[in-house]
Amino acid sequence: MTEPDIFYILGNKVRRDLLSHLTCTECYFSFLSSKVSVSSTAVAKHLKIMERQGILKSHEKEGPFIGPARKYYDIAISRTYVATVTPNVFWYHGLDLTGPNEGTFNIEVSLPETEDSDLTELVTQFLHLNKELNKVLQALRSVEHGRDVLMSQIKERYLREIGDMTQLAILHYLLIEGTATVDELSDRLNLKEREVVAKAEELGRFIPLRIKDGVIEIDSERLQSEGEGDGGED
Q: So where are the chain's domains?
A: 6-75, 79-146, 162-231
Cβ neighbourhood burial of 83 (10 Å; 0-12, 13-18, 19+): exposed
Mean pLDDT to the nearest integer, 29-56? 92
Mean pLDDT to the nearest integer, 17-21? 90
Mean pLDDT to the nearest integer, 113-122? 80
Does the pTM surpass 0.95? The reply is: no
Q: Return the CATH class of domain 162-231.
A: mainly alpha
Beta strands in the chain (DSSP E): 27-28, 56-61, 70-75, 79-85, 90-96, 179-181, 209-212, 215-218
Instruction: Give the per-residue pLDDT at 24.
Output: 85
**CATH number for the segment(s) 6-75:** 1.10.10.10
**Average per-residue pLDDT in the chain?**
88
Is-same-fold flag (6-75; 162-231)?
A: yes
Give 3-state DSSP helix, strand, coil % of the chain, rounded to 5.
50, 15, 30
pLDDT at 116 over 80: no
